[in-house]
Amino acid sequence: MTALDTGGSGRIAADEPAIRALEHAFRGELVRPGDHTYDRARRVWNGSIDRRPGMIARAAHADDVVAAVRFARRSNAMVAVRGGGHSFPGYSVCDDGLVIDLSAMNGIRVDPEARTARVQAGALLGDLDRATQQYGLAVPSGIVTHTGVAGLTLGGGLGWLMRKYGLSIDQLLAVQLVTADAEAVAASATENPDLFWGVRGGGGNFGIVTEFEFRLNPVGPIVVAGPIFWPMSESPKLLRFYRDWSNEAPDELMTLVVHRRAPAVPYLPSGVHGQPVVAVISCYAGPVDDAETVLQPLRRFGSPILDLCAPRPFIEHQAMFDLSYPPGWLYYVRSSDVASLSDEVIDITVDHAARIVSPLTAFPIWQGGGAAARIADEDTAFSGRTKGNTFNITGIAADVSGFALEREWVRGFWGELAPFHTGVYTNFLMDEGDDRVRQAYGEQKYQRLRALKRTWDPDNFFRLNQNISPLPA
């Protein structure tokens, strides 16, 4: 496995004319070491990442992105591209090189008649939900509202609506993108269709997207959603029940299972705080009355400690994990898909869940299937549509003390699940090397992506990502 070079060799050349040209062309903000906004601007979600770029170009317009790419090419700089800054391995910041930061470009235009939304690449999921839900519409996206639309969408986009409406990419109509040659191009089903195929799952490999256009679908605004908690001791039986019950679920229902120590939050009885619990979190994106029939067997299973699954605004449910994964804590993640929650997989899960030490560590197991799984695998670069469940084994610590222990726990758990791994989602990878990226796409698709990379980025200019190396010219 080869870890990516995250800078150093891509230092910005001291080319004064090039810097002057950039300053002249750039309408946004150029932040450099020593500037009072530098430390804030280089910070990313994962507090275990601490890199010091040579410059951060905070774009205000697509033309700024063109100017920044031109500058980086001329000065041979390593480039990191930042949307919401939530890359697990911190690929949106580099040492010495140039960060092209789109976070200030967060405008959203909703056309409720046409049911489309044009979304600038710095928007966060919460921005998108707020803009669309006022019309009772939504784009399927992720489960934490401070995540960026850009990185999430380009990897695929798993979330509460994926069984009903597919992944984020399944509702993507078009993108505007700046290529490695600093050209602004469009991609859609009719314009540069190969590129459009590649950006739907190929991450930031093919260029910098400045704007997304999504199709919107009706959602809520009230959905039946929320967690039901049991003592973790009930997990072996609960997971076996859940496996069968969730397999029969309609597309409207999406669930996650989370094992953790109960957080000290007011809505949980104080006697439970710190105790190991397991929760099934549901979101029923269909008529409220129908939800009850579907959810009743779950509510009645075993002896729940607390049932908070109730009608609530979709927008509120979207934010339920926000405080469990805040920016600045230290995160270590290993992920994999498994074909099903077999008895062996359940036994391993229960065993490692019981060993959670950190009060912050909480790992979700995602339900698969539904609309996302019915789209043909070859239709988009994203792979792994037919997976059974996805494990996000996440070790969390508020500071460095205890982080090593969390990492060890993650690796041990993930390693034991290895015989059951069927694939992995690129957006849930850390910096795990070429083989894992290959594994994520499968060999045939990976070779198609390499050929596409040769067309659009033959020098591998965009390489601080889950990198697809271009086929040789």
Which residues of this chain interact with ligand FAD, rule CB under 6 A?
Answer: 45, 81-88, 91-92, 102, 121, 142-144, 147-148, 150-152, 154-159, 203-204, 208-209, 325, 427, 464-465
Distance CA 25, CA 35 (A): 20
Of residues 231 and 263, the one with the C-beta less far from ligand FAD: 263
CB of 187 to ligand FAD, least distance (A): 12
CB of 309 to ligand FAD, least distance (A): 19
CB of 364 to ligand FAD, least distance (A): 9
Of residues 10 and 157, the one with the C-beta less far from ligand FAD: 157
Sequence-ordered list of residues with C-beta below 8 angstroms from that of 8, at least 6 positions apart, any chain: 78, 95, 96
Distance CA 331, CA 324 (A): 12
Distance CA 149, CA 143 (A): 11
Distance CA 223, CA 72 (A): 46
CB of 210 to ligand FAD, least distance (A): 7
Distance CA 33, CA 207 (A): 26
Of residues 346 and 396, the one with the C-beta less far from ligand FAD: 396
Sequence-ordered list of residues with C-beta below 8 angstroms from that of 440, at least 6 positions apart, any chain: 383, 384, 423, 424, 425, 426, 429, 466
Nearest alpha carbon to residue 89 among 401, 436, 388, 405:
436
Distance CA 462, CA 473 (A): 17
CB of 20 to ligand FAD, least distance (A): 26
Contact 318, 281 (CB under 8 A): no
CB of 158 to ligand FAD, least distance (A): 4
Tally of CA atoms within 13 A in the half-sphere of 270 that contains its CB: 0
Nearest alpha carbon to residue 317 among 468, 466, 473, 126:
126
Question: What is the 8-class DSSP label of residue 233?
Answer: G
Of residues 103 and 349, the one with the C-beta less far from ligand FAD: 103
Of residues 187 and 295, the one with the C-beta less far from ligand FAD: 187
- Report CA-CA distances (Å) from 34 to 31, 37, 39, 40, 371: 9, 8, 9, 12, 49
Paired tokens of 266: 């007011």
Of residues 350 and 393, the one with the C-beta less far from ligand FAD: 393
Distance CA 70, CA 23 (A): 12
CB of 315 to ligand FAD, least distance (A): 15
**CA distance from start to end of the chain:** 24
The SS3 of residue 283 is: strand
The SS3 of residue 49 is: coil
CB of 154 to ligand FAD, least distance (A): 5
CB of 294 to ligand FAD, least distance (A): 22
CB of 256 to ligand FAD, least distance (A): 9
H-helix or E-strand containing 80? strand 79-82
The amino acid sitting at 55 is M
Q: Identify the sign of the CA torsion 7, 12, 13, 14.
A: negative
Of residues 154 and 360, the one with the C-beta less far from ligand FAD: 154
- Report CA-CA distances (Å) from 448 to 194, 329, 455, 471: 10, 37, 11, 9
CB of 236 to ligand FAD, least distance (A): 27
CB of 374 to ligand FAD, least distance (A): 18
The SS3 of residue 272 is: helix
- What is the number of the residue whose Cβ is closest to ligand FAD? 151
Of residues 275 and 422, the one with the C-beta less far from ligand FAD: 422
Contact 113, 28 (CB under 8 A): no
Of residues 151 and 221, the one with the C-beta less far from ligand FAD: 151
Distance CA 413, CA 456 (A): 39
Of residues 209 and 424, the one with the C-beta less far from ligand FAD: 209
The amino acid sitting at 271 is G
